[in-house]
Amino acid sequence: MAETFHPPDALQIEVAASVNKQLPLGAQVNLFRVTHDDGQPDGSGIVYQYGPQRATVRTVGPIGPEDVSEIVEGVKGWITEMRFKARWTEDPGEAA
């Protein structure tokens, strides 16, 4: 299976801009395209970033304007999870 990663197309750039406008300060997303030369469906990817933390989500199929609210919710949930994992405590029994 050979995958090729490509920069975002014009629609993905618009989607990323719409998502980024709705995210908290310090958070952003970047999109990319994935093509396959073995007949598998082409896909997309989203890179979430909040400060130094990053996560990548892959999708099957394109990402469009109808996906903006779902992406925003996903990123905000991920940020909440990252903040919870990064909390500081003096109790060694509570430390992650």
* 93 belongs to a structural domain: no
* 95 belongs to a structural domain: no
The pLDDT of residue 83 is 77
* 90 belongs to a structural domain: no
Per the structure, the count of domains in the chain is: 1
The pLDDT of residue 51 is 87
The pLDDT of residue 84 is 72
The pLDDT of residue 1 is 61
The pLDDT of residue 21 is 97
C-alpha to C-alpha distance for 88 and 16, rounded to whole angstroms: 32
Q: Which residues of the chain have pLDDT under 50?
A: none
C-alpha to C-alpha distance for 79 and 94, rounded to whole angstroms: 20
C-alpha to C-alpha distance for 69 and 57, rounded to whole angstroms: 15
Q: Which domain holds residue 30?
A: 3-85
- Cα torsion for 12, 47, 63, 78, to the nearest 10°? -130
The pLDDT of residue 75 is 95
The pLDDT of residue 93 is 67
What's the pTM? 0.80
